[in-house]
A and B are shown apart, each in its own frame.
Chain A
Amino acid sequence: MSEKPGASVPGRLARLIVASAATAWAAAASAATDAERIDALEKQVSQLEARSPARQDEGLPLHGFMDVNAGYRNNGGPRGFALGNLDFYLTPRIGDRIKGLIELNFEINESGGLDTDLERMQIGYVFGDAATVWAGRFHSPWGYWNTAYHHGQQIQTTVTRPKFLEFEDRGGIIPAHTVGLWGTGAIPAGAGKLTYDLFTGNSQRIDLDGGTPGSGTLNPNTASATNHRALLGFNLGYLFPGALDGLKVGVHGYTATIDDDAAPSNSTRVRFAGGYLVYLESDWEVLAEYYDFDNLDLSGDSGTHRSKAGYLQVGKTFGRWTPYARGEKASLDQTDAYFAQQENGGSYDRAVAGLRFDLDPRAALKLEANHTRFTDRVVSAYSEVRLQWAIRF
């Protein structure tokens, strides 16, 4: 028996089987009856189970998402294959009350370089279902999409987010990340549930590319509030019970003072309010969000500027297939420095249609086409087809 391959066969199961066999062999060699041999085997297996070490700290589970993409745009834009995100997600816990959340994302930028982003880094204290307080960098809890799908491409039905809700480094025009404090919870209300979010933090800023007007991207101001101003926001939602289970409606609002790095700097009091409606039931997915901006020019005398943006997305699952469609529209005042200084701050409308196929609960293939029309800053349009293979692990 000593030369039997127990040591060379990997895996606990193999070792256990060999160990069991060894006992059986010994039992057989001692001319025991079959019943005695079986008894011996049972005892041996029980002992092996009992010898398993007590459950100890097994480390921190590492989960995440990744996606690869291919696309074709007809206006000379990006074509071919591209890596998407490699997103690592960790949730350390310290006892029942204190928890952490880390989302570290690696993504390829438009020039092919590798960008690393600590997308989220939060430490939270759980008071109960009714209240958790987070501190750190988190996804701004306005609307629905931004805190429903985060960076996990596999869990969102579509390839793309609504264009105006993209992350800052992907051309989003609303600060997707906040560095500060966030209180959130759910309270029973009637037969349903009232959800709330209250958040404050550093007002974001706009970084211009070499000072070029209209080239800016939003910066969450992770190191400090560069203009010493705080933002404030809220989100109130209601989850319906009974026959309307799966329906959530809500309102949200946000205000911040956002400066750019032009000389002299433009400063805007950004204020938006809006609402959303979500229905996820009976294989239907209906998402709608609306944002109404009322921005005030603080550094000049152009006064207030009204803008609006919204989308409606509808999908229906048939087995492993989910066809979907989305319409988006953003009418953004180009005399408002907040939008005018952002590279993607122009008005647009977009129609999206796509088909998702779930190879596995953890892997999806998505084919999506969109037609995007820019309607003010530069009047133009393009069509695009995208293919995405996204997994979670």
Chain B
Amino acid sequence: MGRIRAVRPTRQISRSHPPIFRPARRFLSALLLGTALWNAVCAAGVLDVGGEWLDDGGRAVSLSDWQGRYTVLTMSTGACRKICSTTLRRMEELQAIADRRGLGVDFLVIGLDPRSDTPKAWREYRAQRKLGRENWHFVSGGEERTRRVAGMLGISYWFYDEHLLHDFRIVLIAPDGTIRRTLAWADDRPEVLFSGLK
């Protein structure tokens, strides 16, 4: 809720205006407050999606475990050979950028297909692709929770027979749980995801 304090109106300024402006000023400040609050409620939601998630070690985790640190988050499925391949390559590029810049960032991949993205499947996926770093995490949850997270990230997905067709999106989650930046398919400069980070 830090954002709300940032837009708090100050009474000292209000006294310098004629009384006729006070209702308008109050309305505008209230509108700003309402907008900021609503945005905060919407944006902060990704890591607030509750319930139990399983990581690739089979351990129960909560998405809120990633509160308090910068996290590169995406959604993927181990069976996907096209979009997810590009996603993974981008994530690896981002890891290399973070290493070069000395940024401590976690990488979190949420499985889109809980039926096939089991802890065992993710373990094999990681082993095969040599994704053994400890700051990388692969988790899966229930179908409803997965849909909620996907909706919050703007990732639509559906099954065309056995193909899981889905969007591409990588986001940087700030320590307060809000989405700080988004990397889209056409963004050829992944480093922009870390713009402003020190």
Inside 8 A of A376's CB, which chain B residues have their CB?
none
Inside 8 A of B158's CB, which chain A residues have their CB?
61, 63
User: Are the CB atoms of A37 and B37 closer together than 8 Å?
Assistant: no
A236 to chain B, nearest CB (A): 16
| Contact bitstring B101-137, A, C-beta under 8 A = 1, else 0 | 0000000000000010000000010001000000000
Q: Looking at the complex, which of B46-54, B63-71, B80-88, B171-179 is the stretch in contact with chain A?
A: B80-88
Q: Looking at the complex, which of A24-32, A168-176, A264-272, A380-388 is the stretch in contact with chain B?
A: A24-32
Inside 8 A of A242's CB, which chain B residues have their CB?
124, 128
A392 adjacent to chain B (CB < 8 Å)? yes
CB contact under 8 A between A13 and B163, given known A21-B30, A29-B26, A38-B4: no
B31 adjacent to chain A (CB < 8 Å)? yes
A246 adjacent to chain B (CB < 8 Å)? yes
**Cα A245 to Cα B121 with chains together (Å):** 11
Inside 8 A of A45's CB, which chain B residues have their CB?
37-38, 41
Inside 8 A of A28's CB, which chain B residues have their CB?
26, 29-30
B145 adjacent to chain A (CB < 8 Å)? no
Inside 8 A of B160's CB, which chain A residues have their CB?
63, 89, 150, 152, 155, 392
Inside 8 A of B142's CB, which chain A residues have their CB?
none
| Contact bitstring B34-45, A, C-beta under 8 A = 1, else 0 | 110110010000
**Cα A245 to Cα B125 with chains together (Å):** 9
**Cα A150 to Cα B167 with chains together (Å):** 20
The number of residue pairs between A and B whose CB atoms lie closer than 8 Å in the complex comes to: 100
Q: Looking at the complex, which of A198-206, A222-230, A354-362 is the stretch in contact with chain B?
A: A354-362
Inside 8 A of A317's CB, which chain B residues have their CB?
82, 85-86
User: Are the CB atoms of B27 and A25 closer together than 8 Å?
Assistant: yes
Q: Which residue of A lies closest to B156 (CB)?
A: A362
Number of chain B residues close to chain A: CB under 8 A: 34
User: Are the CB atoms of B124 and A245 closer together than 8 Å?
Assistant: yes
Inside 8 A of B86's CB, which chain A residues have their CB?
317, 319-320
Inside 8 A of B4's CB, which chain A residues have their CB?
38
User: Are the CB atoms of A20 and B81 closer together than 8 Å?
Assistant: no
B189 adjacent to chain A (CB < 8 Å)? no
Give the most central of A23, A242, A245: most B CB within 10 Å: A245
**Cα A361 to Cα B163 with chains together (Å):** 13
Number of chain A residues close to chain B: CB under 8 A: 49
CB contact under 8 A between A17 and B38, given known A34-B9, A63-B160, A91-B159: yes
**Cα A320 to Cα B168 with chains together (Å):** 12
B39 to chain A, nearest CB (A): 9
| Contact bitstring A1-35, B, C-beta under 8 A = 1, else 0 | 00000000000010011111101110111000010
A241 adjacent to chain B (CB < 8 Å)? yes
User: Are the CB atoms of A24 and B34 closer together than 8 Å?
Assistant: yes
Q: Which A290-304 residues have C-beta < 8 A from chain B? A: none
**Cα A63 to Cα B128 with chains together (Å):** 33
A72 to chain B, nearest CB (A): 29
A36 adjacent to chain B (CB < 8 Å)? no
Interface residues in chain A, defined as those with a beta carbon under 8 Å from any beta carbon in chain B: 13, 16-21, 23-25, 27-29, 34, 37-38, 41-42, 45, 49, 61, 63, 89, 91, 101, 129, 147, 150, 152, 155, 241-243, 245-246, 280-283, 285, 317, 319-320, 358-362, 392
Sample (25) of A-B pairs whose CB atoms are under 8 Å apart = A13-B38, A17-B31, A18-B31, A20-B30, A20-B35, A20-B38, A21-B27, A21-B31, A21-B34, A21-B35, A24-B29, A24-B33, A25-B26, A28-B26, A34-B8, A41-B33, A41-B37, A89-B160, A155-B160, A241-B124, A246-B81, A360-B186, A361-B168, A361-B185, A392-B165
Beyond A18-B34, A20-B33, A89-B160, 17 extra complex contacts between A and B, CB < 8 Å:
A13-B38, A17-B34, A21-B33, A27-B30, A29-B26, A41-B33, A61-B158, A63-B158, A147-B161, A150-B161, A155-B160, A155-B165, A242-B128, A245-B124, A285-B81, A317-B85, A358-B185
